[in-house]
Structure 1
């Protein structure tokens, strides 16, 4: 049974890299959602004026990996207590957000935030937002890490996040 979630955790390259290496994940698409501008592109989203967040749409087989594991990996892969910022990436386009399709998903997301709060000293600021249109990012942003493993951003930012995910979820993340 396939399930799909749309999550934002700062730069989409990071979450994309971690989720693509997670057992049971069938597809990850980097893109933009949560904003007011039609047909956003990387440059416009990076300007911070579109309202869109860099996000990923992840489809996974719940018979292989439970939704809760995907959500736990999401919270482990970024700092959900940092408002509109992940490391050097600053702006609402880098917010921590969970985009829900219906009230049931919104309730599951809210429960996940509540459960995760025990793992953080500061309040979690991850937003719950209704999923509007999801705009896939340009091809250059899809599976960026695998195609650019020696890129400085990949080496300095993504590699430590992958290492953390592998350490915390050894049964799931390769």
Structure 2
């Protein structure tokens, strides 16, 4: 099935901290930045409005600094990165980082 863009944004903002620059928890670097890559102007408009609403509603203690940028190219991850959690549920990273995020999403 296909998830609509609005629902995808809901999940995206529940699953990470969009208020930190180049960081998610203990993980640091530009690869950990909060970014939305849109494929058309409709998605850009929806993302802009969604973030404005989050900031106006003060959902987070700090302003959302998520970058919004046009998708220029898509490169699939290496096979060993794909479905990582499903194949490595017992790994410490999965237990410490991914499981709490999934629990939070399923609780919401």
TM-score normalised over the length of structure 1: 0.58
Detail structure 1 runs of 4+ shifted over 3 Å in the superposition. Answer: none
Partner of 2:82: 142
Which blocks of at least 5 consecutive residues in structure 1 are unaligned?
Answer: 1-25, 27-59, 169-174
Tell me which residue corresponds to 2:30: 92
1:88 CA drift (Å): 1.4
Offset, 1:87: 0.8
The structure carrying a bigger strand percent of its residues is 1
**Could you tell me which residue of structure 1 aligns to residue 72 of structure 2?**
132
CA distance in 1, matches of 2:15, 2:36: 14
The structure 1 residue matched to 2:19, chosen from 76, 81, 91, is 81
| Larger RCO (CA within 8 A; separation ≥ 6) | 1
- Structure 2 spans left out of the alignment, 5+ residues: none
Question: For residues 24-82 of structure 1, what are the alpha-carbon distances to aligned partners after superposition, in whole Å with 9 as ceiling and x for unaligned?
Answer: xx4xxxxxxxxxxxxxxxxxxxxxxxxxxxxxxxxx24xxxx43222111100000001
Length, aligned pairs only: 106
- For 1:67 and 1:130, locate their aligned partners in 2 and report how far apart those are by CA, in whole Å: 15
